[in-house]
Amino acid sequence: MAEPHILIAVDSFKGSMTSVEAGEAIRRGLAEGLASLGINASFDVVPIADGGEGTVDAFHAALGGELVRLSCRGPLGDPVPSTFLLLPGGKTAVIEMAASCGLPLVKGREDILHSDTFGLGQQILAALDRQPDKILVGIGGSATNDGGAGMARALGVRFLDAMGRELSTTPAELANLHAVDFSGLDTRVRRPRFEVMCDVDNPLLGPSGAAATFAPQKGADPEW
């Protein structure tokens, strides 16, 4: 009987296990179970992702490239280690929003009114330094619900109240938003093509909107 070869490709378990960790746990369990039956097997563990955590790992496992490490501001403002991937040739950057704004970074501290996506903007700025032609952004698994305002602020956009004072970009502050000033936007964002990766098609608002559907898992209650 030929030795079986088993392919394991499993997505992450949101907030608890990465795709790599889950795949390795399955590999160990299968290997032990088969060994108890006298069966030797070989395995390939291939990470996969849906635009959330593990997206960069999946691209890197499949295509290689250079992992670029940086420190970003996390969803609640504390510094977090992050990465993005430059695919071979350096013309395409792959960014995982969950690496700077993800739910695992605030586990047990979820606070949707006081979190934002500033860290994602910092990832984009770091990618722009490498002058790619295309930037792929996976937007799943975030702990935020600021409509990308924090990202825009990191890129130079200013959010102003009725008195012209600059606001932070947490939802609590954005309740006082009166005007948006794009004059300071980093002009480098016009060079690459941006593509967003996600596995849902929810609009922003309404009963099936992104806010109503995903905000509860980020710490919001029905009143919010």
Give CA angle at 111 (106, 117), nearest 5°: 70
**Distance (Å, whole) CA 83 – CA 126:** 10
Q: Quick one: pLDDT at residue 194?
A: 98
Q: List residues bridging with 73 in a β-sheet.
A: 79
With the CA atoms of 18, 19, 24 and 30 taken in that order, what torsion angle do they form, in degrees rounded to the nearest 10?
130
Q: Quick one: pLDDT at residue 159?
A: 98
Q: Quick one: pLDDT at residue 146?
A: 92
**Distance (Å, whole) CA 168 – CA 150:** 8
Q: Quick one: pLDDT at residue 15?
A: 65
Tokens of 60: 């890197």
- Those residues whose C-beta lies under 8 Å from the C-beta of residue 135, and which sit 6 or more positions away, are 92, 93, 95, 124, 127, 128, 192, 193, 194, 195
Alpha-carbon distances of 12 from 43, 54, 87, 113, rounded to whole Å: 18, 7, 22, 26
DSSP 26: H
Nearest C-alpha neighbor of 51 from the set 14, 20, 81, 77? 14
Print pLDDT tens along the chain (224 aa): 678 999 999 888 876 787 888 999 999 999 999 999 999 999 999 888 888 888 998 899 889 999 999 999 999 999 999 999 999 999 999 999 999 999 889 988 989 999 999 999 999 999 999 999 999 999 988 999 999 999 999 999 999 999 999 999 999 999 999 999 999 999 999 999 999 998 888 887 888 887 788 887 787 776 65
The separation between CA 110 and the C-alpha centre of its own chain, rounded to angstroms, equals 16
The separation between CA 221 and the C-alpha centre of its own chain, rounded to angstroms, equals 23
Q: Quick one: pLDDT at residue 219?
A: 77
For the chain, the maximum distance between any two Cα atoms, rounded to a whole number of angstroms, is: 78
Residue-wise DSSP of 44-111: EE----SSSTTHHHHHHHHH--EEEEEEEE-TTS-EEEEEEEEPTTSSEEEEETHHHHBGGGGTT---
Q: Quick one: pLDDT at residue 220?
A: 78
**Distance (Å, whole) CA 186 – CA 190:** 9
